[in-house]
Structure 1
C-alpha cells in the first residue's frame, strides 16, 4: 500500500493559492478585454451576452480577491497556525467567496446561453433546449446562492469566532459537493448544445474545424470542475478524519476539531480557476473579428482565400473599367460610396448601420477576414465583396441533406444486421450499466445503513420512473422525433440520474437517493421505449421474437459481468468505499454522455406511423377480427392482456432479484450471494439464447407458455426445503424467467400498425410492475419468512400466464400472434435486387465503353486526333482484318 504524506509536511498552502488565483484572474482579464475590443471596437455592436460577461468578470474579481485576501489572514494554514485576530477576517473572506461563487457561474453561463440564442432562429429544438438550460442555470444557481447565504442560522454565525452554541451551520464543503451535479450537467449541456448545428453545416473543413474547436473550449471547464470536486472530496474526507482523530480529546480544544483553513484552501483555489476559465472560454467565440483582422490565415480556408483573391482581382478590373461599364457590370453589388474607415463605420454585414447579420453567419462568413486593414486601395474592392456576400447571408450556411433511409419494416435480414448490431451494443451497455447500478446501490445501502424497507423503497422509485417516463415526455419524443431520438434523450437523462447520486452520497440522504433512482428510471425507460420495438420491427417480421431474445440475451450478459466487476475489482465492502461508489457513478455518467453523443451521429433507419401501418396491412392476419359479437377488436384485447402480463412478469422477476441474497442466506448461508446470483443471471441469459434459436422453428406462443409454466413450477418449489435443492431451484427459476419479456413484447406488438409506438409506450410503462410487487413481497417476508414470501412471485406468474393461454385458446388471437412472412416485400426486394444487378452490370459496361472512348479520343499523332483511316490501319491485327463498326453517315465511327 502506498504511503501518504501527512498534511503537516506542507506548512502553508497560502502562497500557491495566491499565485494561482491571481494568475488565472489575470488571464481572465486579458480575454475579457480582448472580447470587449472585438465587440465594441471592431464590430461596434455589443449585445446582451457582452454585458453579462462584464458582470461575470466583476463577480470573478470579487471571488478571486476574497481568496487572495484570505491567504493573507490564514487561508492555507493549519488552524493551529492561524492567529486569533485573523480568524474573523478569514471567515468573512470565505463567506464573501461562498456568496459570489454561484452568481459568477450564473452570469458566465447566462452570457454563453444568450449568445447561443443568437446562433439560429430556425432550429426550434436547439432554442428550446437552450432556454431550458438557461432556466436550470439561473433557478439552480439562485437556490444554491441562497443556500450559501443562509449556511448558518443565524446568518452572522458564519463569520463569528467562536461559533455560538445556539447557532447551527452547514459545512460549506458539503454544500459545494452537493451542488457539483448541477454544475457538471449545465457544463456538459453548454458544451454539446451547439455541436449538432456546427457539425451538420456545409462549410470548408478548416472553418468547420475552427468553429467546433472554438465552441469546444468548454471541455476545459468540465475538466476543472472534476478536479475541483476531487479536492472538495479530499477536503471533506480529511476534515472528517481530523474530527475523528480529535474526538473526545478535550485538551486540544475546539479549534483542532475543524482544520477548515487548511482543507478548504485548494478547493477555493480550484473554484476560482473554474470561474476564470469559464469566462475565458465564453470569450473565445467573440474574438473572431479581432483574429481575422490581425491573423486572417488562422481562420481562412485555402479554398476561400483563392476565391477571395479571384474576386478581388475581378473587382480591381471592374474599378479600372470606365464608369459606364462599371455601372452595367456591377450595378447590383457596388454601394453608392465606400465606408471612410472600417473602424468608424463598418459594413452592414459586420453589424454597423443597416441590415444586421445573423450571428451564425457572422461566425461563418469568410469575408470577415477581408476587412480592409492592409491598405486603403483595397477598400472599394473588399467592401464590394462584403456587400455581395451580405445579401445571401441568411442562407449562407446550410445543412447536409441526408438521404432518406430505408424504413425498418422493409429491411431484409442482411440489411438489418448493421442497425440491429448497433442497437444491441446499446442493449449490452444498458444491461452493464443497470447491473453496475444495482451493485452500487447495494454498496450505498450498506454504507448508509439503510433498512430493508428503504432498500425496497429505492427499488420502487427506480421502477416508478418506468411508469412516468414513457407516459409523459418519452411518448412525445418517440412519436415526434423517432427511435434514435429516444436513445439520445434516454442516455442523457440516465447520466443526470447518476450524477444526482453525488449529493445523495455526500449528504447520505435517503430522499436524495430516491430522486436519483427515479431519474435513472426515467432515462432507461426512455431508452427501452425505443430499443425494444426497434429490434422487433427491424427486419423480416417472422423473426421478431428471435431478434429480441438475442439482443436481450446480450443485455443479460452485461448484467452478469458488471456486478462481478464492481464487487471483485472496483471496491470492497468497507466504510470508506462510498467515495469509490461516488467516483464510479461520475465515471458512468461521463461514459453515458459520450455514448449519447455517439448515437446521435450513428445512422439508423426509422419508421413513420404510415409505414408501420403499411407493414401491418401487408400481413395476411385478421386485424379487424372482433371478440364474439362485440365490436371489441381481438388485437386490442391481445395488447391489453400483453400489457398486464408484462406488469406481472416484471413484478415477479424483480421480486426474485431483490430477495435473492436473503433467500440464499436462509436456505444455504455458506454460498456467496454475489457469485451464486451471477450463476442465476448466466442461466437467465442462456435461456434467452435458447429461446432465440427455438423461435425459428417453434411457434412463439408455445415457447411463451412453456417458460411461464416452468417459472410457476419453480417458484412453487422454492417455497420449501433447505440446502442445495432450493439453492438450485432459484437458479432454475431465473432460467425460466429469461425469455418471458421478449416473447410477450414481440407478440403483443405484432399487427398494431400505426398505433405501434403507442403500444410500445404501454408495454414499457407496464414494466412499472417492478415498483409494485417487491413492496408486497417485503410485507409477506415480514409477516412470515422469505420462502413464504415467494407466494407473491407465484401469484405474479400465475396471473401473467393468462396471455399465452389467450393466444393459444382463441383462434383469431392465434392468427394475430403467429409469425407470417411479408411475401409482398420479399417479392419487391427480389425485383429491386434484380434491377440493381442489371443496373450494376450496365454501369460496368458503360464504364468500360467510356474508357475505350477516352483512350481513343486522347490518342494523338502530331498533336491531332487520328483519322478513321489511321485508326483502321492501327486496328488491323497482323494477318487479319480491321475491327471496325461503321455508324450511319454523318456520325463518327465506333470501335469495339
Structure 2
C-alpha cells in the first residue's frame, strides 16, 4: 500500500526552497491506510444487510432503512466534525474518529449477542459518525497537500486504496458472516428462532477483528508526524469568512447535490446487489456466492480509480467525469432492462464507471475555495447523507420490483453528466490554502 519512496506522490508538495525533503509521500501512504479501513468497514454493510434481512425477516424498505441510518450520521456529524477539527487539529481528530469507529464496532458484538435490531442501528450510527470525522479531515487534506491542478489525481489515488478495502470486504464478510450462517448458505427458507440467533451471532468475530485493527491504527496515527495546514492560513480564514461567500462558487453549489445524488446511485447498487443477482431470473445463486461477485463490482472501482489517477494527469478531471458518467448511464440501462448474466455483469460494470465520481466531484467542488476550503469540504461530506435515500429505492423495489427500481440510478447518472459538463466550472476562484510540512 506504500507509495514509492524514491519520488514524491503524484502532486506531492515540496518545500518552498524547491527541495524534495518535504515530500508528503509518507503522509499520503498513511492516509491511504485510513481510506482503506473506512472503505472496508462501509462495504461490510453490503453483506450485513441481506444477513439482517433474514435474521429479522425484513422487507426491502426496512432493510435499506438500516443503511439510511448509516448515512444520516454523515448529515448529523459533518458540521460537529468540522468544529472539532478547528478545536483540536487534524491529527487528534483522525485518532478520535478511529476510536469512535472502534467503539461502534465493539458495540456491534453486543447487538449480535442480544440480538437487537435497535442496538444494531445505534452502533452502525456510531461507526458512521467516526467515519464522517475521518472524511471531513482526510479528503480536503489530500486535495490541497500539493498543486491544485493534480488535486483530483491525488485524491483518486488514495481513494483507490479505499476501493481496495471495498473489494476485500465482501470476501471477508461473505466468509465470516454469510458463509457461516444458515440464511447466507440456503435459498428461500424461513429460519427457526434458534437458527436466527445463531446467524445473528456470526457477526461477533468479524467486528471484534475490525475493532482491534482500528485501535492499532489509531495508535500509529497518534505517533506519526503529519504535516498540518498552516496556522497562518487558518487565521486568514477566520478574518476573510466575514466577506466571502461559499454560494458564489458554482462548482460547490452544484457539487453538493452532485455528491448527494451520486451516493444514492452508489449505495443503491451496492446494497441491493446481492439480493438482485441471487434472483432466479438473474444469476440464481446463494447470497454467499453473490458476495463474491460483489467483490468484482468494488474491484472495478479500485481499477477505475488507479486508472483515473493516471488519466487525470493528462486529461481535465471534468472531461474524465463526463465520460465515466455516460458509461455508467449505459450499463445501468442494461442492468434495468436485461435478464440473466447480462444484467448481472452490467451491474458489476457500473463499479468501474462509478470509480472516479466521488473523489473527482469532491476535488472539483472545493477547487478555488481558498480560505473557505474547510467549510466547503464540510458541506460536501454532509452531502454523503444522500446515501440515506437508498430507502427510496427500497420503497420502489417493494412497489415495482427490484430490477425496475434501478431506473432511479439511471436518472442519477444524468445529473453527474450535467455537473461534469457545466456545473463544475469554477466561479470567483480564490487562492488555495497552504500546507505546512511536518518538522
**TM-score bin (small chain):** 0.7 to 0.9
Contact 1:542 1:821 in 2 (8 A): no
Q: Deviations over 1:278-326 (max 9, x none)?
A: xxxxxxxxxxxxxxxxxxxxxxxxxxxxxxxxxxxxxxxxxxxxxxxxx
Structure 2: how far apart are the matches of 1:805 and 1:635? Answer: 19
CA shift, 1:766, in A, is 0.4
In the superposition, the TM-score normalised over structure 1's length comes to 0.42
Structure 2: how far apart are the matches of 1:567 and 1:724? Answer: 21
Which structure 2 residues correspond to residues 671-710 of structure 1 after superposition, within 5 A? Answer: 671=285, 672-710=289-327
Q: 2:368 aligns with which of 729, 751, 771?
A: 751
Q: Deviations over 1:367-386 (max 9, x none)?
A: xxxxxxxxxxxxxxxxxxxx
Structure 2: how far apart are the matches of 1:510 and 1:752? Answer: 42
Which structure 2 residues correspond to residues 351-750 of structure 1 after superposition, within 5 A? Answer: 415-440=23-48, 442-472=50-80, 474-568=81-175, 571-574=179-182, 575=195, 576-608=198-230, 610-611=232-233, 636-666=249-279, 667-671=281-285, 672-750=289-367
Structure 2: how far apart are the matches of 1:749 and 1:612? Answer: 16
CA shift, 1:422, in A, is 0.9
Mark the CA change 1:515 to 1:790 in structure 2 (over 3 Å): closer, same or farther.
same
Structure 1: how far apart are the matches of 2:141 and 2:421? Answer: 26
CA shift, 1:419, in A, is 0.7
1:415 aligned counterpart, secondary structure: coil
Contact 2:46 2:270 in 1 (8 A): no
Structure 2: how far apart are the matches of 1:799 and 1:720? Answer: 21
- RMSD, matched Cα: 2.9
Unaligned stretches of 5+ in structure 1? 1-407, 616-630, 830-896
CA shift, 1:742, in A, is 0.6
2:109 aligned counterpart, secondary structure: helix
Unaligned stretches of 5+ in structure 2? 1-11, 183-194, 238-243
Contact 1:609 1:753 in 2 (8 A): no
Contact 2:246 2:372 in 1 (8 A): no
Q: Show the counterpart of 2:422.
A: 806
How many residue pairs end up in the alignment? 396
Higher relative contact order (CA 8 A, sep 6+): 2
Structure 2: how far apart are the matches of 1:608 and 1:802? Answer: 35
CA shift, 1:821, in A, is 11
Which structure 2 residues correspond to residues 46-125 of structure 1 after superposition, within 5 A? Answer: none
Contact 1:668 1:724 in 2 (8 A): yes
Contact 2:106 2:211 in 1 (8 A): yes
Structure 1: how far apart are the matches of 2:125 and 2:261? Answer: 20
CA shift, 1:467, in A, is 0.8
Contact 2:369 2:432 in 1 (8 A): no
Structure 2: how far apart are the matches of 1:801 and 1:613? Answer: 37
CA shift, 1:777, in A, is 0.9
Q: Which has more radius of gyration?
A: 1
CA shift, 1:579, in A, is 2.8
1:696 aligned counterpart, secondary structure: coil
Q: Deviations over 1:754-786 (max 9, x none)?
A: 2111111111110000001x1111121112112
Structure 2: how far apart are the matches of 1:512 and 1:634? Answer: 39
Structure 2: how far apart are the matches of 1:769 and 1:731? Answer: 22
Structure 1: how far apart are the matches of 2:57 and 2:333? Answer: 32
Contact 1:479 1:757 in 2 (8 A): no
Structure 1: how far apart are the matches of 2:150 and 2:234? Answer: 17
2:166 aligned counterpart, secondary structure: helix
Structure 1: how far apart are the matches of 2:176 and 2:212? Answer: 20
